[in-house]
Amino acid sequence: MSPRTNLKSLGAALTRLEAASGMGRKNCPVCRWYQRRSGPDPKNPEPYPGDLLTSKCEFCHSEYTTDLTGKSEEEREEIRLENSITLKDEYTDSRASAYRLWTWFQPWQKQIWKKLEEDQKPTDPNARASQKLCSELESLMKRRHKRLQAKYGEDPFPEHGRLARAIADAEPGRRKKMSFYVEGYRDLEWEETRCLISAQLEKIIWGEVWARTAAALEKVEREIEELIRADEAKLMATRVVFSPR
């Protein structure tokens, strides 16, 4: 038997073993979850080898290839980090912990939740399979987190959460200048908080604020200023209308 045939039959035996033990790419909830959402698009042209990132699933050790074609340097850095850290790192490595918190403040997080909600709707033909996969994933994660928390504590890097809370709780002085309720202000204020938290965490994770975060912060601050000016103008107009002749 040639070494190649040997390897092939070994690979097949391993797949059978994995299937029998309930593991392997086809059984692993994490792999099934990510496979539904990403992976190189076969319709796209063949990527350059330098644009391919190889990583492993920490649960079943299946190997993955992610196509980085067309991604900005910032996006590549994020994908590399996302694919290199494990759940354990989030409890033992300050940078990994800051990164996990940072992900919760990214605009794409909203899209994930939206897609999740859509998948769970009973009208979706795959809703039942999707719900089953979600609950499998949830219980797997819960088990792993529970084990890690027992060993390293629930929040080994509380400074990151404290930093985010301090930014979120800071009362912007400008709110006092505004009339009682201005439509759209709350959303803009949340976007500003999101950007400020992201910026501080990016300094911890990558040593600098991402250009897109800085741009988003500049944009939202401009919009807030415009809203305040419009609010003041409206107030002035009201005063004119009700002023005694």
Query: Interface with Zn ion by CB under 5 A: which residues?
Result: 28, 30-31, 57, 59-60, 62
Minimum CB distance to Zn ion, residue 9 (Å): 23
- Report CA dihedral (46, 47, 50, 53) to the nearest 10 degrees: -110
Burial 225-241 (b: 16+ CB within 10 A, else e): eebbeebeeeeeeeeee
Minimum CB distance to Zn ion, residue 112 (Å): 18
d(CA 18, CA 26): 9
Minimum CB distance to Zn ion, residue 34 (Å): 8
Of the CA atoms within 13 Å of residue 231, those in its CB half-sphere come to: 18
Minimum CB distance to Zn ion, residue 94 (Å): 26
**Sequence-ordered list of residues with C-beta below 8 angstroms from that of 138, at least 6 positions apart, any chain:** none
How many CB atoms sit inside 10 A of residue 210's CB? 20
170 near 196, Cβ under 8 Å? no
- Is the Cβ of residue 31 or residue 164 nearer to Zn ion in the bound state? 31
Minimum CB distance to Zn ion, residue 33 (Å): 9
- Is the Cβ of residue 31 or residue 227 nearer to Zn ion in the bound state? 31
- Is the Cβ of residue 30 or residue 101 nearer to Zn ion in the bound state? 30
- Is the Cβ of residue 28 or residue 197 nearer to Zn ion in the bound state? 28
Tokens standing for residue 105? 């403040």
d(CA 163, CA 87): 22
- Is the Cβ of residue 11 or residue 161 nearer to Zn ion in the bound state? 11
DSSP for 24-45 reads STTT-HHHHHHHHH-S--TTSP
Minimum CB distance to Zn ion, residue 113 (Å): 22
- Is the Cβ of residue 59 or residue 185 nearer to Zn ion in the bound state? 59
66 near 79, Cβ under 8 Å? yes
d(CA 138, CA 104): 17
SS3 21: coil
Minimum CB distance to Zn ion, residue 204 (Å): 29
- Is the Cβ of residue 57 or residue 127 nearer to Zn ion in the bound state? 57
